[in-house]
Amino acid sequence: MGRRYDPERRQRIIDAAIRVVGEKGLAGLSHRTAAAEADVPLGSTTYHFKTLDELMVAALRQANEGFAKVIAARGGLEDPHADLATELAGWMGEWLAGDRTGVELEYELYLAALRRPALRPVAAEWTERLVELVARHTDPVTARALAALMDGICLQVLLTDGVYDEAYAREVLARIIPPRSDA
């Protein structure tokens, strides 16, 4: 019997890997668990992803799209006079109000880069995209500080099962942003 044409198999494996990490944590992800979740032969996972790191990179890259979609959908920073603190606090609010499992998954994969060097470039891409967007409204050093603060706020909410306080986030973000010279 010939090989079955399955153009979506690679994507199904990535989606399955994300579900496995969401249910069992990163430690529960293997080629075998991803294959079982995707309902594909084990050989398919190793064909598309030679190493587990390759699979994790693909999963992290896809997971990073969650926050990017919030940013794209919300817009706001296209206006050069937008209130940066309000926009950033709003982004976090929308992101954290969505599927909490997805947000947790993004951070789990993001933090996995501490132990898995192959994930570091993908984790850095996410930060660089955020800094690039924010730097359009402030200087690059402040943009990096804001990205770090946003990460800290999100992690605190996730780790404490807390409720996101947008007013608090807006206030602390505003404290870092220098006054506008055109105001």
CATH of the domain at 8: 1.10.10.60
Distance CA 106, CA 116 (A): 15
Residue 136 lies in a domain: yes
Let me know whether 30 and 105 are in one domain: no
Q: Tell me which residues of the chain have a pLDDT lower than 70.
A: 1-5, 66-67, 181-183
Let me know whether 82 and 2 are in one domain: no
pLDDT the model gives residue 2? 42
Let me know whether 81 and 39 are in one domain: no
Strand, helix or coil for residue 39: coil
Let me know whether 32 and 82 are in one domain: no
Which domain, by its residues, includes 28?
1-50
pTM over 0.75: yes
CA 64 to chain CA centroid, Å, is: 3
- Domains identified in the chain, total number: 2
pLDDT the model gives residue 1? 42
pLDDT the model gives residue 3? 53
pLDDT the model gives residue 4? 66
Distance CA 113, CA 158 (A): 18
Task: Decide: 44 and 16 in contact? Cβ < 8 Å.
Answer: no
pLDDT > 90: percent of the chain: 48
pLDDT the model gives residue 182? 57
Residue 73 lies in a domain: yes
Let me know whether 67 and 147 are in one domain: yes
